[in-house]
Amino acid sequence: MSVKVAAGYHNCGIEPRKAYCNTLIDMAKEDSRVCVLDADLMSASGTKPFMAAFPERTFDCGVQEANMIGVAGGLSSRGFIPFCHTFGTFATRRVCDQVFLAGTYARQNIKIVGSDPGITAALNGGTHMPLEDLGIMTSLAGITVVEPCDSVSVAKVTRLAKETYGTWYMRLVRKTAVQVYEEDTDDFVLGKANLLRDGNDVTIIAMGYMVSESLKAADMLAEEGVSARVLDMWTLKPLDEEAVIAAARETGAIVTAENHNVWNGLGSAVASCLALHCPTPMEMVGVQNEFGEVAKTPALAQRFHLTAEEVVAKAHRVMLRNRNDAADAIH
Amino acid sequence: MKRAMNVKEVRLFANDIRRETIKCIGHLGVGHIGGALSIVDVLAVLYSGTMNIDPRDPKKDDRDFLVCSKGHAGPAVYATLALKGYFPMEMLLTLNQLGTNLPSHCDMNRTPGIDMTTGSLGQGASTAMGIACGNRLKGYDNYTYLILGDGEINEGQVWEAALFANARKLSHVIAFVDRNRLQLDGPTDDICPLLDIAAKFESFGWYGQSVDGHDVEAIARAINNAKAQDKPSVIVLNTIKGKGYRKIEDQPSNHNATISAAQMEEALADIAAERAAIEAE
């Protein structure tokens, strides 16, 4: 299996939320079990066309996230596949116990979609900025946690969610994303990271918003003669441990890059894997245990150092540590 | 109901459920006995012909559903299910022991006849609404029954679900509130007063009734009345926490209590005396 990476760092031709809604409609045409739930954010999630096409399978619950997750649990117990959306903060922080009891613990098949991950919450500000959603969700036994990064991957991962029984949490960037994948790329495999670029000197393991930034960072490193591998770890849980371990063994230096707190997100997951299986110097790009703030996304990217430049800086640092470790070993 | 209910039979069934509930908890020596005993009479009515169910086919797709949202009352539901033949009576003695299929709180993946996993209060209200929505999507006209505790309706999620039921006109949802007036820390009036529960639900667009929760005839009448409505229904069951074991009735300490072997015998004697009285009528 191989993925096709889009060139040029242009924005996706359609909004990721449009890809999400189109996929839901396509799936609902084929499968009468697909339902859509929302908590008064259908206009934001772009799912109103689904409501127009399948009104009886649409449940706009109003501003009641806890009830929405419970209703989804009930629908799942009757064999339906409910996709529930709200902002990522409310889809996780606010309903953690509902996701546990009505979802994972009861072995239900509900798909929870949290939009505006991390700094893409932008003008909604710190209250709406999910920087802990991945940590909350990955703590639940039996859950699947994923983050597609562009419209192509949103469509692929949404379909995979429908086809794979279990409770899922998917991050969804709504409006703009850099196109990372070509339309005709291969399907994604759960638990398998996508190798976007091969390299020998350092591996950048990225998720979501940071995937395209990491590709840019790899370009910048290439100009200096550094060969950087780039993995899209869209499947945070189950983590592709095999790819992480192989990257550690083959490149000797790891940088993680995530639009989330480095605590209990991608960086923590990779660090845990490496500590257990293949201790390797690593650095983490992400929000360093801070609250979010209000601003447009590019300004927030600078504020929280979620940039290609930061990935390059951390790559330099980790490669230096790797060389120092090697030198220590020799002496 | 498909046939006229034999009141004496249902009262005897309730007496059976109380006995087996006490044995189930007594065998272990500790459990949520108060709130289990208070819902026995509604369980007796539901499982005496009110619900369209088949113990030989617990997953029958168009059956009626029961969500016991006050999941800690599981032992009363388990006793009922065992008596109906969903699983062997001996299984009741495995309550809360490692590897059991009868955990303290109801678990749909472990116990035949349990329709929803519950235990975090308030959540069963929402899952019951989801079940009702699913049944409607499937084109069924079956009923979803929901048992809530009165302390449980402190939870805001119950009221979210109540709004939702009205919005979706879920007329095939019938909820019961076990109004035993006690919650873990004491009387509901002292902790967080609930005032007029039926009126509250009515203001949320439901049809509300209040009955003696230990009068099986009154409960059955209320259910029939609820089925005649074109909106979701709530039936407030005025009950006594610990009903049937006289020494603990209406005692705040009976929420989760230890039951010694001697106490179990005492409780079973109360139940036997009640049975003799019913039979003598």
Query: Tell me, what's the pLDDT at B134?
Result: 98
Question: So what's the pLDDT on residue B1?
Answer: 44
Q: Is residue A65 flagged as an active site residue?
A: yes
Per-residue pLDDT tens digits for A164-192: 999 999 999 999 999 999 999 998 999 99
Topology of domain A16-172, per CATH? Rossmann fold (3.40.50)
Give residue-wise pLDDT tens across range A189-247: 999 999 999 999 999 999 999 999 999 999 999 999 999 999 999 999 999 999 999 99
Taking an 8 Å cut-off on Cβ atoms, the answer to whether A69 and B126 are in contact is yes
Q: What is the pLDDT of residue B37?
A: 98
pLDDT digit string (tens) for A48-58?
999 999 999 99
Å from B138 to nearest chain A CA? 9
Q: Does A78 touch chain B (CB under 8 A)?
A: yes
pLDDT of A75 = 98
Closest chain A residue to B138 measured between Cα atoms?
Answer: A78
**Per-residue pLDDT at B198:** 98
Q: What does DSSP say about strands B182-183 and B186-187: parallel, antiparallel, or unpaired?
A: antiparallel
* Residues 91-150 in A contacting B (C-alpha not used; CB under 8 Å): 97-98, 100-102, 105-107
- In chain B, residues with a C-beta closer than 8 Å to the C-beta of A71 are 126-127, 129-130, 133, 161, 164
A288 C-beta neighbours (distance < 10 Å), count: 12
- Determine the average pLDDT of the residues in A29-43: 98
Per CATH, which fold does A194-330 belong to? Rossmann fold (3.40.50)
Q: Do A67 and B115 touch (CB under 8 A)?
A: no
Mark the ranges of chain B whose per-residue pLDDT is less than 70. 1-3
Residues of B in contact with A66 (CB under 8 A): 122-123, 126, 156-157, 160
Closest Cβ opposite residue A78 in set B119, B126, B134? B134
User: If you measure CA to CA, which chain B residue comes closest to A62?
Assistant: B164
Q: Which residue of B has its CA nearest to A103?
A: B117
Question: What is the mean predicted confidence (pLDDT) over A295-300?
Answer: 98
- Amino acid A248: pLDDT: 97
pLDDT of residue B140: 98
- Per domain, the residue ranges of chain A are 16-172, 194-330
CATH placement of domain B7-280: 3.40.50.970
Q: Does A70 touch chain B (CB under 8 A)?
A: yes
- Per the CB < 8 A criterion, the answer to whether B78 and B90 are in contact is no
Where are the domains positioned within chain B?
7-280
pLDDT given at position B167: 98
Where residue A2 falls among pLDDT bands split at 50, 70, 90?
confident
Under an 8 A CB cutoff, do B164 and A74 touch? Answer: no
Q: According to the model, what pLDDT value does residue A323 have?
A: 82
For the residues A26-39, what does the mean pLDDT come to?
98
Per-residue pLDDT tens digits for A317-331: 999 988 888 788 776
pLDDT of residue B3: 59
pLDDT at residue A330 in the model: 74
